[in-house]
């Protein structure tokens, strides 16, 4: 009888411990930090991953490599926004073709939204910021990886120059190939998150997103938006509709 009672007590302890752990996870999910449009059955796991990563993972730097580790690197997705066969390229593609013809001298990336000083930056303006060069691994959701040297300005420096307002929560990127995506401020302010204008010591090649692409080393490759046109800081989550990946069932948080 005593043994049975002891087992029940132990069981109660286990149940209490599990309920406590569940409570911690649930409270992590209910802080209003999750994107509000982000919810069907498969998104439960993605939400849990996002909440768990943000609650549990210590901050650090992604591994950086030596120049001898630079590898071959497939260019996938859009490889030329001016290509008339691109489904979303009608107007933006024309504008991109014009800028490309002028060697991107007239290219300006705009920073708008929840910032004190909205404005536009040419490539020369971006290059006047302190630059950062890092040799990092690109991890594609398809399963492959490649290492390249990226040169650019930390997104955090540009956001600081533009003066993000206290309610800023997400940074959205709109691209010349008609695609759009966003990241939260934790990824945006990570020191290795770059607006990259150089790859392997050269100006960023067109197939890899020239003249300007995002590098988010804490995320899977598809979050590294190529061909950036506009950067919009928002206080609410934006799913980018058919321009975004969410529309097609992809995770918004792709840190795993």
Q: Which is nearer to other proteins, 118 or 207 (CB)?
A: 207
Q: Which of 63, 160, 167, 242 touches other proteins by CB under 8 A? A: 63
Burial class (CB in 10 A: 0-12, 13-18, 19+), 15: exposed
Q: Mark 2-41 with x for binding to other proteins (rule: CB under 8 A) and - for no binding.
A: -----x--xx-xx--xx----------------------x
> Which residues is 181 bridged to in the sheet?
173
Burial class (CB in 10 A: 0-12, 13-18, 19+), 172: buried
Q: Which of 34, 43, 176, 181 touches other proteins by CB under 8 A? A: 43
CA distances from 65 to 39, 138, 202, 214, 215 (A): 37, 12, 18, 19, 15
- For residues 139 and 148, the answer to whether their CB atoms sit within 8 Å is no
- Give the DSSP letter of residue 104: T
**Closest approach of Cβ 52 to other proteins, in Å?**
8
Please choose, out of 56-64, 93-101, 120-128, 234-242, the segment that lies near other proteins by the rule CB under 8 A: 56-64
Q: Which of 29, 48, 185, 189 touches other proteins by CB under 8 A? A: 48
Q: Provide the terminal-to-terminal Cα distance of the chain, rounded to the nearest Å.
A: 49
Q: Which is nearer to other proteins, 44 or 103 (CB)?
A: 44
- Give the DSSP letter of residue 115: B
Q: Which of 156, 163, 203, 205 touches other proteins by CB under 8 A? A: 205
Q: Which is nearer to other proteins, 25 or 161 (CB)?
A: 25
240 scored as a contact of other proteins (CB under 8 A): no
Show Cβ contacts of residue 61 under 8 Å, excluding neighbours closer than 6 positions.
191, 192
Query: If we measure between CA atoms, which residue out of 196, 190, 192, 193 comes closest to residue 208?
Result: 196
- Residues in contact with other proteins by the rule CB under 8 A: 7, 10-11, 13-14, 17-18, 41-46, 48-49, 53, 57-63, 65, 69-76, 79, 137, 139-148, 199-200, 202, 205, 207-208, 217-220, 245, 248-251, 255-256
């Amino acid at each position: 009888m005593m043994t049975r009672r002891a087992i029940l007590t132990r069981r109660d302890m286990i149940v209490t411990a599990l309920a406590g752990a569940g409570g911690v996870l649930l409270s992590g999910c209910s802080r209003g930090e999750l994107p509000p449009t982000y919810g069907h059955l498969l998104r439960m796991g993605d939400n849990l991953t996002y909440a768990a990563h943000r609650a549990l993972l210590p901050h650090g730097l992604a591994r950086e490599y030596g120049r001898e580790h630079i590898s071959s690197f497939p260019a996938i997705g859009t490889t030329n926004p001016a290509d008339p066969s691109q489904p979303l390229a009608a107007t933006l593609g024309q504008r991109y073709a014009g800028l490309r013809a002028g060697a991107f001298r007239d290219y300006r990336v705009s920073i708008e939204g929840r910032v004190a000083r909205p404005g536009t930056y040419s490539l020369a303006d971006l290059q006047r910021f302190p630059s950062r060069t890092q040799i990092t691994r690109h991890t594609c959701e398809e399963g492959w990886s490649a290492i390249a040297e990226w040169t650019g300005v930390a997104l955090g420096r540009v956001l600081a120059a533009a003066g993000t307002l206290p309610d800023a929560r997400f940074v959205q990127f709109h691209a010349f190939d008609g695609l759009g995506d966003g990241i939260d401020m934790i990824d945006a302010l990570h020191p290795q998150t770059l607006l990259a204008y150089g790859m392997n010591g050269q100006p960023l090649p067109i197939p890899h997103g020239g003249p300007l692409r995002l590098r988010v080393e804490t995320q899977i490759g598809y979050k590294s938006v190529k061909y950036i046109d506009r950067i919009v800081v928002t206080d609410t989550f934006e799913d980018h509709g058919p321009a975004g990946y969410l529309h097609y069932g992809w995770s918004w948080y792709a840190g795993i």
